[in-house]
Amino acid sequence: MAFYFDNAATTKMSEKTLELYTSTSSLYFENPSSLYPEGIKAKEINEKARQSIATLLKVSPSSLVFTSGATEGASLFFSSLLLLPASELISSPCEHEAVSSWYKVLEHFGWKITYLKVKNGTINCDDLKEKLNSKVKVVSVMATNNVTGFNFPIADLVKTVREEEKKGTKKILFFSDSVQALGKTNLCLKDSGVDVACFSAHKVNGPKGVGLLYLRNPASFQILSKGGGQENGKRGGTENVSGNVAFSNALTEWYSDESREKRAREIWETLYVELNNLGLKINSINSGSPFILSFVSPLPSEVYMRKLSDKGFLVSSGSACSNNAKGKSEKILSSMGIKSEDAKRTIRVSFDKSTKLSDVKALIEAIKELNGR
């Protein structure tokens, strides 16, 4: 069996989550909008899943919209901006394509996009302060970068935005793609004050095709979604009850494992020290996610990745989605200050809460062999 180190791309469902996914599909297959008791029961089960996720995230259930994943969550948000007069948006330069590809659409409709600087793995609030002006309507910064694991100071950036808001009368929406932060950093939607965030279940051992859009103030934001009026009119379409139930179980498993971050950090540090000893450059920093470590290999990423995969170790060159669009991952790395020649040789190793130290030690041995040590 292969050693799996590509958990930032996707994770495997736990046995209990998979069991719940299949049993719910069979026991509560009825449409939650149907008015007979079985439909009402399916609706109840769906709402119970929403309530339990809301409790874990310490937010109100009415602020959570179930979606088919973060890409759809981001699409619901950014397409809805087209209902507003064109204005200005400030973003990090290293957003996932689920977000950044919308900027071209917004530009087409007259929006101006301005990018913040990423320096030493972080974004400076003063840079944001300088770029804010009365025309800015949206600030969009991801919580954790999927390629390097850099954690951005979301709560401080939101605070900067709120201070700017006080100067005028306009509301500035703060959007944060929080896919890689869920369960993996001390994400707190309520305290950070973000207005909108998106998540995917499959990054935390939930099913694929399931996600959430968080809206701090759902009544104040009109979402461009048509259909049957499900999800309080925010996302039409028959609810994925079994997927949502499985998501809620997966997240419960993450949150009830209180030492997950500590274990991941120990694994991260072991790998960091060994790679450093081998003289390899490391793109990630230890204030970043303990679940992602990105380093520069001696060979082009695709070659090194294949050599590791031949030995039974599955890693990535960057973002799995970017593998479909060669060069995009390198561009994202360069936007974070990583030299182009290093970006071309970058390897991402990513863990989940069940990754074992012994597995990482086996990976280290494989890297030593490949590097002729």
Between 98 and 271, CB nearer to ligand PLP? 98
Q: By CB under 6 A, name the one of 321, 362, 364, 366 that touches ligand PLP.
A: 321
Assess 370 for contact with ligand PLP (CB under 6 A).
no
Q: By CB under 6 A, name the one of 50, 96, 216, 234 that touches ligand PLP.
A: 96
**x/- site string to ligand PLP, residues 334 to 363, per CB under 6 A?**
------------------------------
Between 247 and 295, CB nearer to ligand PLP? 247
**x/- site string to ligand PLP, residues 183 to 202, per CB under 6 A?**
-----------------x-x
Between 69 and 218, CB nearer to ligand PLP? 69
Assess 24 for contact with ligand PLP (CB under 6 A).
no
Per-residue HEC secondary structure of the chain comes to CCEECECCCCCCCCHHHHHHHHHHHHHCCCCCCCCCHHHHHHHHHHHHHHHHHHHHHCCCHHHEEEECCHHHHHHHHHHHHCCCCCCEEEECCCCCHHHHHHHHHHHHCCCEEEECCCECCECCHHHHHHHCCCCEEEEECCCECCCCCCECCHHHHHHHHHHHHHHCCCCCEEEEECCCCCCCCCCCHHHHCCCEEEEEHHHHCCCCCCEEEEECCHHHCCCCCCCCCCHHHCCCCCCCHHHHHHHHHHHHHHHHCCCHHHHHHHHHHHHHHHHHHCCCCECCCCCCCCCEEEEECCCCHHHHHHHHHHCCEECECCCCHHHHCCCHHHHHHHHCCCCHHHHCCEEEEECCCCCCHHHHHHHHHHHHHHCCC
25-33, 188-196, 318-326, 354-362 -> range binding ligand PLP (CB under 6 A) = 318-326
Q: By CB under 6 A, name the one of 123, 141, 179, 296 that touches ligand PLP.
A: 179
**In the complex, least distance from residue 43 CB atom to ligand PLP, rounded to whole angstroms:** 25
**In the complex, least distance from residue 28 CB atom to ligand PLP, rounded to whole angstroms:** 24
Residue entry with tokens 């932060």? 181
Assess 70 for contact with ligand PLP (CB under 6 A).
yes
* Contact between 60 and 84 (Cβ < 8 Å): no
Assess 328 for contact with ligand PLP (CB under 6 A).
no
Distances, alpha carbon 217 to alpha carbons 62, 143, 193, 213, 365, in Å: 9, 19, 11, 12, 50
* Contact between 173 and 138 (Cβ < 8 Å): yes
* Contact between 67 and 239 (Cβ < 8 Å): no
Q: By CB under 6 A, name the one of 63, 71, 100, 294 that touches ligand PLP.
A: 71
15-23, 152-160, 213-221, 316-324 -> range binding ligand PLP (CB under 6 A) = 316-324
Assess 69 for contact with ligand PLP (CB under 6 A).
yes
Between 177 and 253, CB nearer to ligand PLP? 177
**x/- site string to ligand PLP, residues 116 to 155, per CB under 6 A?**
--------------------------x---x---------
What is the size of the binding site for ligand PLP (CB under 6 A)? 15
Assess 177 for contact with ligand PLP (CB under 6 A).
yes
Assess 20 for contact with ligand PLP (CB under 6 A).
no
Q: By CB under 6 A, name the one of 42, 57, 98, 182 that touches ligand PLP.
A: 98
Distances, alpha carbon 209 to alpha carbons 227, 240, 243, in Å: 18, 9, 8
Between 150 and 304, CB nearer to ligand PLP? 150
**In the complex, least distance from residue 180 CB atom to ligand PLP, rounded to whole angstroms:** 5
Residues forming contacts to ligand PLP in the complex (CB under 6 A) are 69-71, 96, 98, 142, 146, 177, 179-180, 200, 202, 319-321
